[in-house]
Amino acid sequence: MPSTSIRNGHSTEVALRFALDAAQRAGAQTAIVAGPLLEFPMYSQDRTERCSSASEMISLLRRCHGVIVASPGYHGSVSGLIKNALDYVEDMRDDEAAYLDGRAVGCVACAFGWQATGSTLAALRSIVHALRGWPTPVGVAVNSSSKIFDTEGNCLDGAISKQLQLMARQVVEFAHMRDRAGAGIRSAADVRSAARTALQGRPRDVGAPIG
């Protein structure tokens, strides 16, 4: 669950940790990839070697049923650090669940002013769509021009607190719904086999005469 924060106490990482705490209360097991752990080499499809931290992030994403991505707004969009980290998801292109397919993704954007929060949040959601993820209905824009969190990580803004908690619950609830749906889904081959068996057992003359 990546964040682009590289400074202790950065509002982006604090917001992410607040959301992860809410996800834990909703029943999720959580992990965080943040700060220096996101300082990967510039992604390139032509480079096959991976640093250990990038490999660990991809391994973690493969195990996750849901993801929360938080980014600061740098000059009106997602920071280069988080975009580069998300580019590494290309390593999951040949997975059975390619990229972020089937995973709910909560998006959080933090910036000094509403204009950058809005454009950064929109960019995050577009990236998630491109990676086949399912952005939660609620995305959270945090305007860090005012004090949102205290030194203990408590949210001082009631509206932001509710939004972060709701977004986290949506990630967890979607993961549960996918699990329940998957338990009842048979493979396409099983469905075709069952249909053939049912048809073979029917009388051939099944139509009622007309006229």
Domain boundaries, the chain: 11-200
Q: What is the pLDDT of residues 53-72, one digit of tens each?
A: 999 999 999 999 999 999 99
Question: What is the per-residue pLDDT for 176?
Answer: 93
Q: What is the pLDDT of residues 123-182, one digit of tens each?
A: 999 999 999 999 999 999 999 999 999 999 999 999 999 999 999 999 999 999 988 887
pLDDT at 122 over 80: yes
Please report, as a single letter, which amino acid is at residue 113.
G
Predicted TM-score (pTM) above 0.85: no
d(C-alpha 148, C-alpha 155), whole Å? 6
Structure tokens at 67: 């993801």
Please report, as a single letter, which amino acid is at residue 128.
V
Please report, as a single letter, which amino acid is at residue 30.
T
Structure tokens at 31: 């992990």
* Cβ–Cβ under 8 Å, residues 114 and 39: no
At residue 40's C-alpha, the angle toward residues 36 and 42, to 5°, is 140
d(C-alpha 50, C-alpha 92), whole Å? 13
Identify the band that residue 190 occupies on the pLDDT scale cut at 50, 70 and 90. low
Query: Could you confirm whether domain 11-200 is CATH 3.40.50.360?
Result: yes
